[in-house]
Amino acid sequence: MTTAVTRTPPAGPGPDAGEGPAAAPQDRPSGRRPLPAWAVPAAVLLLLLTLPFSALDIPGLLDGPVNSPGSLQLFALCLVFAGFALSYDLLFGRTGLLSFGHALYIAGGAYGTQLAMSELGLGLVPAGLLTLAAGTLAACLLGAISLRTLALGGIGFAMVTLAFAQAGSIWVSRNPGGLTGGEEGLPLRADTVPGAFIGVGNTVNVYWLALGYLVVTAAVVWIAAASPAGKVWQGIRDNEQRVSVLGRDPFRYKLGAFVLASALALLGGIVYLVVTAGVTPHASTPEFTLTLLVMVVLGGAGTRWGPVIGGVLFIYLDHRLTALGVSDAVHGLPTVISAPLSEPLVVLGILFVVAVYAAPGGLTRIGAALRTRRGRNA
């Protein structure tokens, strides 16, 4: 005789969290349907597409109308660094690899492209493609060497990437053969790039270029994270030994993440060269990578929008606080107050500590943190 057993599903977060059976129709809020996955990215992209056509003036937040050259230049820089943060999050947030050498590939993209244009006489696109190909091959080699040190622990990988970045920074600063410009860096020569990116009147084209880079980077990172390889990256981040037991080779997947992140950084370096009209040795320093790490942690590591929000917010605040520090309003304050306000990094550091304390998982997880606290209080 066969006895039918009725199983009562356990109480849990429900279908919104991706667990448990679907709720009964009478349990669902009437008239509410979940937004499709593409709705939020499409809305954000639509907003970014309309900025160059908006003459809205926001006193205190911008120095001029939204579509003024100064505002568009600031927006372009924010978008580029959002892309940088996304590419770094592919290593740190998605795979759990703490690298201090990510800036090496950003600087490599910028310096390599400028040298290919000035020394080889190539145009912007051929020079960028050559730099991207050569830099990706270098990333395969350096990544394989760096990842072999993980047998000594995660700190070994961080130290080796730091050593490579420091070596690249010293090489750039010493200006071998007069190629890198030393401490002055390399300016973007107007005769080596299309005229559409030269001059204040063409700032809108620079903005479109930066937006295109962010869109490409976001698409690559989000698609890769949702792929089977992305699930393995998440498994490596959470428990690498379990991934090995399941028959996957963690080294291959980590190397793939490293090379993909480096290629996106190289591409970003090319765009950075055009947006900033040159490149300086600061772009090759480990401190530059540390800035990207702060952006990722500030927004939320391993999340979809965290690196984007962290990158945009950090660059915007750095720009506005710099302008505030040299303003007459700050100079008229007592020294005790004006001294820290005149140093943007001090203010940014304080804001970062406050943000990490208020939202340990990043700004994108503030809502979840508040709900958790309310649940505990209840």
Structural domain boundaries of the chain? 65-299
pLDDT of 370 over the 70 cut? no
DSSP 8-state assignment for residue 57: B
pLDDT at 132 over 70: yes
Structure tokens given for 203: 């700032």
What average pLDDT does the chain have? 85
CA dihedral 171, 174, 175, 177 (to 10 degrees): -90
Residue type, 371: R
What would the pLDDT profile of 189-246 be if each residue is shown by its tens digit? 888 888 889 888 899 999 999 999 999 999 999 999 999 999 999 999 998 889 989 8
What is the H or E stretch that residue 278 is in? strand 278-279
| Distance (Å, whole) CA 229 – CA 235 | 10
pLDDT digits (tens, 9 = 90+) for 15-25: 333 334 444 44
Q: What's the confidence (pLDDT) of residue 22?
A: 42
Q: How confident is the model at residue 310 (pLDDT cuts 50, 70, 90)?
A: very high
User: Of 330 and 173, which is predicted with more confidence?
Assistant: 173
Question: What's the pLDDT at 222?
Answer: 95
Q: If pLDDT is split at 50, 70 and 90, which confidence band does 108 have?
A: very high
pLDDT band with cut points at 50, 70 and 90 for residue 31? low
Would you say residue 178 has pLDDT above 90?
A: no
Burial of 69 (0-12, 13-18, 19+ CB in 10 A): middle
pLDDT at 191: 84
pLDDT reported for residue 4: 41
Spatial contact of 300 and 362, defined as CB atoms under 8 Å apart: yes
CB 161 within 8 A of CB 101: yes
pLDDT tops 60 at residue 376: yes
3-state DSSP assignment of residue 175: coil
pLDDT of residue 5: 41
